Structure formats: structure tokens, C-alpha cells
Amino acid sequence: MGLDMYLLAKAPNCEELTVIGTWRSHRMLHCWVKAQWNEAGRPSENETHPNRVEFELSREHLCKIAEMSKAPSKYLKYNSEGFFYGQPIKDSHERTLKIMEKAFTLKDSGYRIFYDSW
């Protein structure tokens, strides 16, 4: 068991989402997004966490995710334990940086970027 996580893009004037990156059980990232979700006032009234809900990420959010991947020790408070998250993936930080490169390029082209998990 683990947590499947997605970074999605939506082109301007389009409702279709495109997957630009995926993770499996990236605890730190998910817990950080959950903290941002709570800070934003849980934008979806019926949800208590950002699972199966597209949470839009700003450029500032994307910068923080990239920073977290470059210096994970600064973000250890977001590294939760538990069976739900499964085993951490060893290359998750390097992988995240590659995904963020795509996200920044799309964001600069007018796309909206979303996080979702299941």
C-alpha cells in the first residue's frame, strides 16, 4: 500500500488535465501540500485533506517544492511516518526536480498547475 501522487497541468481555456509528473509515497511532499491546503482554508468544503481534490499550486508553491527537493533536511517536519505512506522512494528528490522543471515551463506558458493524490 502507498500513496499515489500527481502533478497536473491545465492549458489556458481548457478543462482537460494532463499528468506532468507522478510520485509514489513521497511523504514529505504530501505532508507539505497538506499543510498548504490547511493554510489555504481547505478550499474544498467537504474534504479534510487534499486527496482526490485538485489543489492549485502557485509559482511560490512550485519554488518551495523545488527548494524542498534540493535541501530536504530543512523540511523534515513534513516527513510523517506510518503504513499509509509505504516505503520512501530513494530517488524522489531528484525526480521531483525534473518534474518541477516541466511545471515551471508550463506555468510560464500560462498553464495552471495542480496537485492531487489517491
**By residue range, what is the domain housing residue 85?**
4-117
Considering only CA atoms, give the Rg of the chain.
Answer: 14
The model's confidence at residue 90, banded by pLDDT at 50, 70 and 90, is low
**Phi, psi dihedrals of residue 63, rounded to the nearest 5°:** -60, -40
The model's confidence at residue 34, banded by pLDDT at 50, 70 and 90, is confident
Position with higher pLDDT, 43 vs 110:
110
Estimate the share of the chain in helix, then strand, then coil, as percent rounded to the nearest 5: 45, 20, 35
pTM above 0.85, yes or no: no
Picking from 70, 72, 35, 50, the residue whose alpha carbon sits closest to that of residue 5 is 50
Position with higher pLDDT, 113 vs 53:
113
Position with higher pLDDT, 45 vs 22:
22
Number of domains in the chain: 1
